[in-house]
Structure 1
């Protein structure tokens, strides 16, 4: 076994140790209290921006997607939940499930803090199907080191739970399986991802080393219960990055059968640079190679999963030959307007990750999302004169738009859409910016909340092609934009003003030629 620091292996050789279970509260009572907390917030919830086709809690704050899996004929999505308020607080796990990734139902809250090692929060983790065909849930138990708040740092460990039923509505906690070597770690030690390769189970999670460097550590296990430190899988080359949150690691194959490995993480501490890293923290990936017994070898630079204002902590899982990912639309920049409404935060649509012929990852909504379409109107080609606004929908709160812009016949400086356009002249623009060669979400005129703009790049090949396709999903309080079939993605909140929320075609300082325009009315996912 090769390690960068043999002392880490010595401190964490738990192969012969059984899980440590130390209850401090009745889990059923904690779950019942959490359900009551969510219900109290939901009873007075304001739905002005509450999503129709994005996953959100009935009430309370949510963040990272967790425990994604397909089991016993149902898709399961868990998520970080604070059931007693609309700001971040002691973490629980909420849960929804679906037979088709279209129609969803709420399930009982899955986890509440009830063990000593998770006294202050059941933090993020993942699900994996074992050799026996049954799921296992791995997550991080969180405690404040000083017992009360973050001023003394964190004490975080890895935990294991197993389901009691095939509907995954109840779980038995097995307890702590990996303790934190506090002399090797600067507090952060969390978010396990588990998989199997060549007959061995592997776990990686994010760590801030004692030198405050963002790392991912690798452990191995023969039985999914007893784990041994293997090595540092990856250390971020940027010394400003002190932690790699919500890590992901998976193989992917292109159309020609060439396999690569993808390492994903949310880089805490990276400085803004041009259009890059504009959010508080930024989630992205690197493509490279990995073999058991080695560290990950990157072959690309760090690339963003999503260029919008509000995307963080994505998690993916492999099923039926697909790699499917959800992200959290993170609202960390104040003011967070929906905090006033009894709920806060939602997830993105499910996206399939593919490795394109260009050697990069593409993310587009899974095919199942088309099942949300209630009606379709083909508007065909349209010409928009300079500085003209053309209303195509009077009130769009649950809509998908497929739009193709002929760049060769467009000379506007900015050309595209204005969404959530209300009678008070507020709205959010989604446009191609000819001066930067990028697709922009611009919230400078949004009615509520954070403003600013984000800009996704187009490659030289895409610009030379002369055709730009946009697939835009408009929910009550957010938008998702997929560029050229998922070459880039953008997720942003957009909090509209009062009144109907129109969608307009816009062309600024020049004309726009739209060669194809289709509008789909979307159904609610049932939540």
Structure 2
């Protein structure tokens, strides 16, 4: 069995010395002053709850005119401080500098406790204790690399040797650039040490999975797992300190028989590492995918956070969905590539994590995948073509990986990175006319946000070709035929926010022939389309951004896979998005009504509807003043002809009638409602957990000539059954 606190001899010796030092300090403190020994109350030096710093003095601009009310403009969310204010040197951003110095005070307790966060730059972003004109103690925040957290945590100094002496505290911000600031709060003299300290645990692996306990509101801790002299895992996790909200898991099959050492920082009374257990099953395996709020036909990960779809491709009968994934927590962080496969875009099977960071801080950001059918890379063979993916390593640049076993395992290209620049999110495609591979990648240069194009003959060596400004993150690039127009096609250049341009692409440069356009609205981001589909459909999947599940051990979902087409409209060529035809395979119970006006809708038409998973189709005749409202499990879906708008909850999109008609297709799952207007001319995604126990559907009409010609409702089966 494993033991909490088991450490190598050097760590144990340091721990004992630290303990002995603390006890000696306490004895000296007690002997030095009977009054101090009798007075056990803490002495607050500063809680920073005033509008100004009072008798503290400032230099520079970093600390502003007084304590900050939490998070400052442009800063990540600041948490962990007490009361309503704190010292926050982010005034003016990370480029500002300055100092904040306390008046002199007498040290009367053996410990000085404080909350601290921000940058980890000793002497440049630090809290310092000055005694007799010399710096005798110093502390910093935990952050010196991209990512991290603005949470403050307790720290403590043993100051027993200075009891009775005058001292000054100095808060310093002299660092410019990332994490060039410091956060401090609640500085207290105490007889009790309050803070975090190194803890370890050893465990011999004898099962496939580690079950790791998570508490949603616990501080983020860095957990390192070491086997011998090798770090095999290192990640951030909200380790349970007071209660276990849910369990996440780590597949350690390849580490069976090895002794693992877990290392982290925890409060002295936390037993978090003792709560880590081993099992050959996933946590809560019997209830997996059956949780109360689990979406039933949208993809969600088994555990943890999900965002951008990555590496979408089809190969040997399987659709591959990779995605940005935090396997260790409910919130964003620890970016890995999760992986799932499906025969039909609806029924997904999750596979082991496809791509893990090579080290802490070098995260696996978004990218794409293709089938190298002619083995131009040499990673496979022409009879067994490799799967090749490109991703952003946050510490290196754009990197290539490949698989020769249907995507089950992946190998890093030895000469990574293949492109270095200020940017991310490479999108691979093969340009048939030039017989070259193309990488479309988000790029920042000359203060502008752009998509850059690089080309390659072998997916290994890349040449910069051109750049087009005005797009941000997660590009996609593909060619589509124009429906009903023989021999006409357009290239679509697509950005993370859903804006796209139509134009021409010659393998080197994109030439637009439209302004920015939009199909998707609402909670929809970073979409990507599948490569290498056998039926040549262009199927898109987007991240349902802000589709949250607060009570669940998973978070966020993918939007419904949709087929994209180009069609000619009165406004010109436009892109349409409609749910894939495979959705019809989930139909279980059908309801239909025809020719419904306000009188007919006044009756209880929909009492027979009982399902929570729905596909609703409506076709309505509208006039200039018409308003059609469908109340879908408490959420209003409204078409307002006077404004030419379609809305779903808080989101809306422009939509004009088509020859006096409006068509709606609405998908209802446990975490979202998606609405497609006029055969997908616009689409809206709304993250919402629809109310339970309310009427499933009601409808109403206003204005002249408003009539529902056809209303169909299909109750849907779950894809997890």
Q: TM-score range by the shorter chain?
A: 0.7 to 0.9
CA distance in 2: counterparts of 1:251 and 1:297, whole angstroms: 13
CA distance in 2: counterparts of 1:123 and 1:439, whole angstroms: 34
Deviations 1:383-428 (A, max 9, x none): 22499585625544211011111114x954x3131112xxxxxx21
C-alpha distance 352-485 of structure 1, shift in aligned 2 (>3 A) = same
Answer with 502-511 or 386-395: which moved more.
386-395
**TM-align CA RMSD:** 3.0
C-alpha distance 45-74 of structure 1, shift in aligned 2 (>3 A) = closer
Task: State the SS of the aligned residue for 2:413.
Answer: strand
Deviations 1:212-238 (A, max 9, x none): 211111111111122222222x111xx
Cα deviation, residue 441, structure 1: 1.0
CA distance in 2: counterparts of 1:296 and 1:516, whole angstroms: 43
Q: Among 389, 393, 398, which residue is 1:158 paired with?
A: 398
C-alpha contact (below 8 Å) 1:415/1:508 kept by paired residues: yes
C-alpha contact (below 8 Å) 1:177/1:225 kept by paired residues: no
Kindly report which structure 2 residues correspond to 1:86-165, keeping only aligned pairs within 5 A, or say none. Answer: 86-113=330-357, 115-116=358-359, 119-130=361-372, 131=374, 132=382, 133-143=385-395, 157-165=397-405
Alignment of 1:257 with 2:506, yes or no, is no
Alignment of 1:204 with 2:440, yes or no, is yes
Alignment of 1:357 with 2:576, yes or no, is no
CA distance in 1: counterparts of 2:695 and 2:393, whole angstroms: 43
Deviations 1:52-110 (A, max 9, x none): 00001112110011111110111111111111111111111112211222322222221
CA distance in 2: counterparts of 1:261 and 1:34, whole angstroms: 45
Deviations 1:163-193 (A, max 9, x none): 2412x22222225232424xxx3xx333333
Answer with 168-177 or 365-374: which moved more.
168-177
Alignment of 1:284 with 2:499, yes or no, is yes
Partner of 2:43: none
Partner of 1:146: none
Task: State the SS of the aligned residue for 1:340.
Answer: coil
> TM-score, with normalisation over the residues of structure 1?
0.75
Task: State the SS of the aligned residue for 1:100.
Answer: coil
Partner of 2:269: none
C-alpha contact (below 8 Å) 2:701/2:707 kept by paired residues: no
Kindly report which structure 2 residues correspond to 1:219-230, keeping only aligned pairs within 5 A, or say none. Answer: 219-230=454-465
Cα deviation, residue 40, structure 1: 4.6
Kindly report which structure 2 residues correspond to 1:416-455, keeping only aligned pairs within 5 A, or say none. Answer: 416-420=629-633, 427-442=634-649, 453-455=650-652
CA distance in 2: counterparts of 1:411 and 1:217, whole angstroms: 46
Partner of 1:169: 408
Task: State the SS of the aligned residue for 1:360.
Answer: strand
Give the number of equivalent residue pairs. 434
C-alpha contact (below 8 Å) 1:177/1:227 kept by paired residues: no
Kindly report which structure 2 residues correspond to 1:377-526, keeping only aligned pairs within 5 A, or say none. Answer: 377-385=591-599, 392=606, 394-408=609-623, 412=626, 414-420=627-633, 427-442=634-649, 453-459=650-656, 462-463=657-658, 465-500=659-694, 502-507=696-701, 512-526=706-720
Deviations 1:264-321 (A, max 9, x none): 012xxxxxxxxxxxxxxx322110112134x2111112122312x2000000134222
Where structure 2 has 5 or more consecutive residues not aligned to the other structure, the ranges are 1-229, 236-248, 255-277, 375-381
Partner of 1:147: none
Where structure 1 has 5 or more consecutive residues not aligned to the other structure, the ranges are 1-23, 144-155, 237-242, 267-281, 421-426, 443-452
CA distance in 2: counterparts of 1:111 and 1:90, whole angstroms: 11
Partner of 2:510: 296
Partner of 1:4: none
Task: State the SS of the aligned residue for 2:549.
Answer: helix
C-alpha distance 387-511 of structure 1, shift in aligned 2 (>3 A) = farther
CA distance in 2: counterparts of 1:342 and 1:508, whole angstroms: 43
> TM-score, with normalisation over the residues of structure 2?
0.56
Q: Among 278, 303, 316, which residue is 2:529 paired with?
A: 316
C-alpha distance 100-338 of structure 1, shift in aligned 2 (>3 A) = closer
Task: State the SS of the aligned residue for 1:496.
Answer: coil
C-alpha contact (below 8 Å) 1:396/1:501 kept by paired residues: no
CA distance in 1: counterparts of 2:294 and 2:719, whole angstroms: 12
Task: State the SS of the aligned residue for 1:497.
Answer: coil
CA distance in 1: counterparts of 2:479 and 2:288, whole angstroms: 45
